[in-house]
Amino acid sequence: MGIPFVDLKLQYSLHKPAFDEALGRVCASASFILGSVVERFEKDFADFLEVQEVIGVASGTDALCLALEALGLGPGDEVLLPANTFVATAYAVHRVGAIIVPVDVDRESFLLDLDSAARQLTDRTKAIIPVHLFGQACDLDAINAFATRHNLVVVEDAAQAHGARWAGRRVGGLGAVGCFSFYPGKNLGAFGDGGAVATNDAALAEKLRLLRNYGSTKKYLHNLPAGNSRLDSLQAAVLNVKLAFLEEWNRKRFRAACRYRDGLQGVKNLQVPIFDPQKPERHVFHLYVIQSPRRAELLEHLTRAGMSAGIHYPVPIHLHQAYAYLGRPRGSYPVAEKLADTILSLPMFPEITDQQVDTVVQCLRDFHG
Ligand SMILES: *Cc1c(COP(=O)(O)O)cnc(C)c1O
């Protein structure tokens, strides 16, 4: 029996009546755009995040694009972001016409490294986008202090970290804005695309509501030039069902991570994620990422044994053809570049069984032992 990377079919089958009922209600109401189901999700997700406002949008990418636009970032503005992230973090900066400034990452946590960020500062640096990569909360105390010192706005990319906390507070609510994705495989995922922006700034929230909906306050009256990026009601209905399980699912992910950690202890040449098992709130394990110097062979070994694995991400931002225009050659970000060659993401989802984790562990031990 193979082991999937995530098991969304299983998750659906376990909660089928709740999903079908919620979706059926939206269909029967024929209220598909915005409306009460979306409003309820926005309110409940805001309560969950302990923020004032949540604005549902069409994707995590749009959440980032609209957040940057609402903050007034544009041509000439430089934006710091980690070199090892999903490409959307960088694309959003490109999209608003601002300048992508990749920053190297920390060797242990793989998160944005503030020393590297400090070296990239210029008088045009306007914003910093910490990415809570793999589900780990970035040190927002340090990042906010850095941002205050250098007059930068903090845009959190929390697309992989729904529910994680830093110093007791939920990520996504710690900077000027927090951006979330509800891509199906995320810790909180829809049955299609979706995203959200979180903020405690009422004026910014109002602007974001305009930006996602043709700049419109009233039908056919448009205050701002803007397009269409709304969270739709069917996705919101799914998210309303799933939000109730998010904490439990995150706990199960953490438990699986601890089991991987125990099982993989002492395996030669294999580096496991460094985290504090006493602080489950800091890491919601969107991904469990190991490092191996023989990554290609290891991936083949796992695949042959019917186990799925992934690489997040095989190419750092500055080495993509799309962003070659940044003019940052290989060697610019040594830690991110090394990670890209050695990291491997193991199967991780709330419903993963002890037995499945143990099977993956055994397979890794066979290979590296
Ligand atoms: C998934 C993801 C995004 C983009 O979200 P989409 O909903 O796929 O557009 C942005 N940043 C990070 C770190 C992500 O993992």
CA–centroid distance, residue 1 to ligand 1 (Å): 30
Tokens describing residue 100: 């992508």
Cβ–Cβ < 8 Å for 363, 307: yes
pLDDT above 90 for 369: no
Atom of ligand 1 nearest to the CA of 131: 13
Q: What is the CA radius of gyration of the chain?
A: 21
Share of the chain above pLDDT 70, in %: 100
**pLDDT tens, residue by residue, 181-238:** 999 999 999 999 999 999 999 999 999 999 999 999 888 999 999 999 999 999 999 9
Burial class (CB in 10 A: 0-12, 13-18, 19+), 24: exposed
From 79, 85, 86, mutation site for ligand 1 pocket: most ligand atoms within 8 A of C-beta? 86
**pLDDT tens, residue by residue, 267-315:** 999 999 999 999 999 999 999 999 999 999 999 999 999 999 999 999 9
User: Which residue has its alpha carbon closest to ligand 1 atom 7?
Assistant: 60
CA–centroid distance, residue 159 to ligand 1 (Å): 5
Cβ–Cβ < 8 Å for 189, 182: yes
What's the rounded Cα separation, in Å, for the pair 55 and 184? Answer: 19
Is 128 a pocket residue for ligand 1 (Cβ < 6 Å)? Answer: no
pLDDT above 80 for 325: yes
Q: Which DSSP letter does residue 156 get?
A: E
Cβ–Cβ < 8 Å for 300, 306: no
pLDDT band for 258, please (50, 70, 90 cuts): very high
* Bridge partners of residue 157, in order along the sequence: 131, 179
Report field, pTM of the whole predicted structure over 0.95:
yes
**pLDDT tens, residue by residue, 282-294:** 999 999 999 999 9
At 356 the pLDDT is 98
